Amino acid sequence: MEKLFTKSAFLTEDIATRHVRGLYEKIDWTDRLIGILGARGTGKTTLLLQRIRMAYRERYEAALYISMDDIYFATNTLVGFAEQFRQRGGKILFIDEVHKYPHWSREIKNVYDTYKDLQLVFTGSSIIDIHKQEADLSRRAVFYELQGLSFREYLQFIGVADKLPKYDLSDLLTDHMKIVLSLTKSFRPLQYFGEYLRGGYYPFFLENTNTYLIRLEQVARLIVETELRYVEGFDVGNTSKIMSLLAILAEQVPFKPNISKLSEKIGLSRNTLLQYLHYLSKAKLISLLEMLGHSVSILQKPEKIYLENPNLHYALANHQPNIGAQRESFFLNQLRNGGYLVSLAPASDFFVEGQYTFEIGGKSKKKTQIKDVDQGFIVADDIEVGAYNKIPLWLFGFLY
C-alpha cells in the first residue's frame, strides 16, 4: 500500500498544470461520486492528477491517485483499499481505468454506500455501458465525458491565445461574419487549421509532434487489442481484421457501407462486422451516421461510417487520406462533441438538430445541393471568412 502512496505523490508532482481542459471547470468536484469516461488518449489520467495537484497540494494525505491496472489490485480489493485509505485520513480517492478491474461497479457502489465521508472520482473507457454493469451507478454517480481537443482548445494549448470564446451553433450561424472578424484580430486560423487536422486532437501531441502519428496508431491498436476485449464476445484473434477495416475507412471518400462486400473483404461475418462497428463507435475510433429518427442498434447497418476525428486518417491510412472525408469527419466530430444531434441529410451531407442542413466542401463549393433547402448552409474549407450562408469550416471548431 505504501508504494501506491509514493507513486501517487510522484505522479502528482510531475504533472504539468499549464494546459487544463475545459471540462475541469464544468465538473462539480463536491459531488460524492464522479465518473469521467472517454477514449484512450484524451487526457483522463492527466485531469485526475491535475485536480490533486491544484486542489490538494498542501494536503496530499487527503487525496490519492490509483490505477486499477496496478499489480497491487491483482491480490487486493478496491473495497479493502478504500477502507484503509479512509482510516489513514483519506478524503477523496481518484480511481483510474476502472474497466480493467473485475466487478468494479459493484465495489464502487459498496464503497459509496458504506463510507459516506469518502469521495470517489473514477475514469473509464468510453466503451463502458453503465446500465449493463453489475451495479447500476447511474443514480449515484454524476457522469462526464472527456472528448479530444476542439480546434479552439488546440489554439489555446499551442499558445495562440490564453482564452478563446466558444459559441452556440445558433449564434455561429447567424453572426459568423462578426465572430470571424473578432477572432481574426489576433490570429490567422488557416495558419493552424491544417496542423490541427493532422495532429492536434489528442493532448499528447504536446509531448512530441514528430512521433505523434506513430503513437496515435499505437493508441488505436491498443484500443482494439486491450479495451475491446472487455466487450462480451470480442475475439482478440480478429484484431488484424479490425485494423484493416480502419485503414480502409481512412482512405475512402465518406463511406456508405455495403456490409456484405465489406465483411467479405476483411473476412468477418455480417453480424460480427456490425457488432464490431458498434463497439468501435463506442470506443471513439469511428462515427456512425443514420437518418433522423432511425435506430442505432448493434445489428443496424449505418448509412455512413467516418473515422471519429481527422487525425486518425493520417495515422491509419496506408496512402494519402481523402480530403473530403477529413472535412466531414471534422464537422461531425466537433458538432457531436459540442452536444448537437447530427444525422444524415436527405439531399446533402448533414442534418443538425432536426432543422439545419449542411453541405461540406472546399472554397469553391456551390449551393446546388441546398438551393431549395430551408436553413441550408455551405461549410467551406480553405476560407478565412464567409458570407451569408457560406461559413468557414474551421469556425465549427469553436463549439466546445
C-beta separation of 356 from 377 below 8 A: yes
Q: Is the pTM of this model over 0.95?
A: no
Q: What is the pLDDT of residue 351?
A: 97
Q: Is the pLDDT of residue 168 over 90?
A: yes
| Window from 19-23, 299-303, 324-328 with minimum mean pLDDT | 299-303
In the chain, % of residues over pLDDT 90: 79
Task: Give 83's pLDDT tier (boundaries 50, 70, 90).
Answer: very high
Q: Is the pLDDT of residue 1 over 90?
A: no
Q: Which residue has the higher pLDDT, 293 or 185?
A: 185
Number of neighbouring beta carbons within 10 Å of residue 147: 24
Q: What is the pLDDT of residue 138?
A: 84
Q: What is the pLDDT of residue 296?
A: 60
Q: What is the pLDDT of residue 297?
A: 62
For the chain, the distance separating the N- and C-terminal CA atoms, rounded to the nearest angstrom, is 40
Q: Which residue has the higher pLDDT, 272 or 129?
A: 272
Q: Does domain 2-146 have CATH number 3.40.50.300?
A: yes
What is the pLDDT averaged over residues 116-130? 92
Give the cell for residue 126: 468510453
> Boundaries of CATH 3.40.50.300 in the chain?
2-146
Q: Which residue has the higher pLDDT, 288 or 228?
A: 288
Q: Is the pLDDT of residue 346 over 90?
A: no
Q: Residue 285's closest CA among 324, 338, 245?
A: 245
C-beta separation of 312 from 320 below 8 A: no
63: region left, alpha or beta (phi > 0 left; psi from -120 to 50 alpha): beta
Q: Which residue has the higher pLDDT, 99 or 371?
A: 99
Q: What is the pLDDT of residue 295?
A: 63
Number of neighbouring beta carbons within 10 Å of residue 239: 16
Q: Is the pLDDT of residue 234 over 90?
A: no
What is the pLDDT averaged over residues 268-272? 91
Please name the amino acid found at residue 70.
D
Q: Which residue has the higher pLDDT, 242 or 232?
A: 242
What is the pLDDT averaged over residues 16-42? 96
Q: What is the pLDDT of residue 64?
A: 97
What is the pLDDT averaged over residues 281-286? 94
Residue with cell 442498434: 297
Q: Is the pLDDT of residue 218 over 70?
A: yes
**HSE (CB half, 13 Å, CA atoms) of 65?**
24
Question: Residue 314 and residue 54: Cα distance in Å, rounded?
Answer: 35
Q: Is the pLDDT of residue 131 over 80?
A: no
Q: Residue 348's closest CA among 323, 330, 365, 336?
A: 365
What is the pLDDT averaged over residues 333-346? 96
Q: Is the pLDDT of residue 115 over 90?
A: yes
What is the pLDDT averaged over residues 281-299? 84
| Window from 18-27, 83-92, 315-324, 385-394 with minimum mean pLDDT | 315-324
Q: What is the pLDDT of residue 250?
A: 87
Average pLDDT, the chain: 93
Q: Is the pLDDT of residue 216 over 90?
A: yes
